[in-house]
Amino acid sequence: MKVKDRVAIITGAGQGIGKAIAFALAREGARVAVTDISGKEVDTAEEIKAFGGEALPLRLDVTNYLGAQKAAKKVHEIFGRIDILVNNAGVYPFKSFEEMEEADWDRVIEINLKGTFNCTKAVLPYMKEQRYGKIINISSIAGTVVGFPNLSHYCASKAGIVGFTRGIALEVAKYGICVNAVAPGPIETPGTLAEVILLNHEEILRNLAESVISGDEEKAKDFARKALEAGIDPLRAINEGLMRGMSRVGDDFSKLKIYLPEVMMAAEAMKAALSILEPAALQKGAGALKKSKVVIGTITGDIHDIGKNIVAMLLRANGFEVYDLGRDVPIDDLIRKAEEVGADIIAASTLLSTSMPYMEDLISLLKERGLRDKYIVMVGGGPVTREWAASIGADGYGDDGEEAVKVAKELLQRVKGK
C-alpha cells in the first residue's frame, strides 16, 4: 500500500506495536496522528519529527466516544483528510478468571473492543465523504487461533474485534472503505514484558510453594531452575516460595489435615529445590565477609534439618566457613568439632520441644569445661524463642535464616572484634 501523504490515525501509539506502526507509516511518508492516553504520544511524535516525519500528538481515551469524535475532527482540520485508522489501543492485564472482577472484564472490553467501535465510528463520516479509507484493527492470535490462560477477557475482546471487522467490512466496502484485522502472536513490547516478568515471578514462586505442598520433587526442581532463569534472587525463591509452602504444610500437619508421609514428601521436595538454589545463593554471597568459623548441627534427638540447612547455607553465602555436623548431633560432638577447627560460633537448631533442654546442656557443658567464653553460642528453630534463648544464657537467637546471619555478624564484631 502506498501511504505517501496519506493521513493516518494510530491509537495506543505511545509505545509498543502502536508506536512501531506509527514509525513505519511515517517513514513511508504518511502524516500520522499518534494518540494515546498516557502522555507518551508526545514522545512518539517528537521522535518521528526528529527524523523528518510529520506527526501530530493527541491525547485520547478510546473508551470515550465524544473524545474520539473530537480527535477525528481535529485531525481532519489540521491534515484535511483521514485515510487510515489503526485501532491498536489495547490492554492485557493478566488475571485468572477466578480472580477476575466484573470491573476487570469491563475495562478490557471497553478499551480493546468498544474503543475500536468508537474510533471507527468517529472517522467513518470523513472516509465515507472521501470514498476512501483503510481501517486496520489489531486483533491477536489470542482471539483467533489459541487461548491464553489468565487473559480470558483479552481473548474475548480480540475475538470480538474479528467479528466486528467481518461485519462492518461488508457494510462499508460500498463507500470504498476497506476494513481488515491482523492477528499478531506474542510480541515483546515494554507493556507485555512488564506483565510477563511480573506474572512469571509470581507464578514461579506460587509453583515453588505448591511443589512443596504437594511433595512433588520434580516440580520443585523444575521451578527452582525456572526461578534462577527468570532472575529471581535465590533467597527470595526460598523465602517467598519454598518456605511459604512449608509453613502451609506445618499448619495442615498440626490441624491433622495431612499426616507424616505427606510431610516427609514435602521435606524431600524442599530439599530437592534447595540443592539447585543453594549453589546460586552461595555464588551470590561468596566472599562477603572475612572468614569466621561456625559449627552447626541439629541437636540430640531431633532429625529436622531443613531449617538448620538453610541457616548453614545463608551463613556460607555470607562468607562464613561452616562445619555442618548434620542432625541428631550429641552436644559433645559440637564442642569437640569447635575445638578441633577453632570455631568462633557454635550454632544449634531444634524443632522439637523435647530436644530443647539439650541446648541448655550444651551451655552447661561448655561452662563445665571452662570453654564458655571461647565460643559464641547461637540457638534457633521452631519452638525456640528469643526469651528462652536468653533464659538459658545463649548469646544469640534468630527467628529465621536471615536474622541468624545478621546476629552472627553483630556478635562476631561485638564479642570477638571480627
Whether 154 is catalytic is yes
Q: Which of residues 311-330 bind ligand B12 (CB under 6 A)?
A: 311
Sole binder of ligand B12 in the list 7, 212, 351, 411 (CB under 6 A): 351
Sole binder of ligand B12 in the list 240, 302, 324, 395 (CB under 6 A): 302
Q: Does the protein bind ligand B12 through residue 303 (CB under 6 A)? A: yes
Among the listed ranges 118-126, 156-164, 207-215, 250-258, the one in contact with ligand B12 (CB under 6 A) is 250-258
In three-state form (DSSP H/G/I as H, E/B as E, the rest C), the secondary structure along the chain is CCCCCCEEEECCCCCHHHHHHHHHHHHCCCEEEEEECCCHHHHHHHHHHHCCCEEEEEECCCCCHHHHHHHHHHHHHHHCCCCEEEECCCCCCCCCCCCCCHHHHHHHHHHHHHHHHHHHHHHHHHHHHHCCEEEEEECCHHHHCCCCCCCHHHHHHHHHHHHHHHHHHHHHHHHCEEEEEECCCCCCCHHHHHHHHHHHHHHHHHHHHHHHHCCCHHHHHHHHHHHHHCCCCHHHHHHHHHHHHHHHHHHHHHCCCCCHHHHHHHHHHHHHHHHHHHHHHHHHHCCCCCCCEEEEEEECCCCCCHHHHHHHHHHHHCCCEEEECCCCECHHHHHHHHHHHCCCEEEEECCCHHHHHHHHHHHHHHHHCCCHHHCEEEEECCCCCHHHHHHCCCCEECCCHHHHHHHHHHHHHHHHCC
CB of 234 to ligand B12, least distance (A): 14
Sole binder of ligand B12 in the list 58, 347, 359, 366 (CB under 6 A): 347
Sole binder of ligand B12 in the list 178, 267, 371, 392 (CB under 6 A): 267
CB of 379 to ligand B12, least distance (A): 5
Among the listed ranges 179-187, 224-232, 363-371, 393-401, the one in contact with ligand B12 (CB under 6 A) is 393-401
Q: Does the protein bind ligand B12 through residue 215 (CB under 6 A)? A: no
Which residue number, 180 or 247, has a Cβ lying nearer to ligand B12?
247
CB of 44 to ligand B12, least distance (A): 49
Q: Which residues are catalytic?
A: 154
Contact residues: ligand B12, CB under 6 A: 243, 246, 249-250, 253-254, 260, 263-264, 267, 301-308, 310-311, 347-349, 351-354, 378-383, 397-398, 400-401, 404
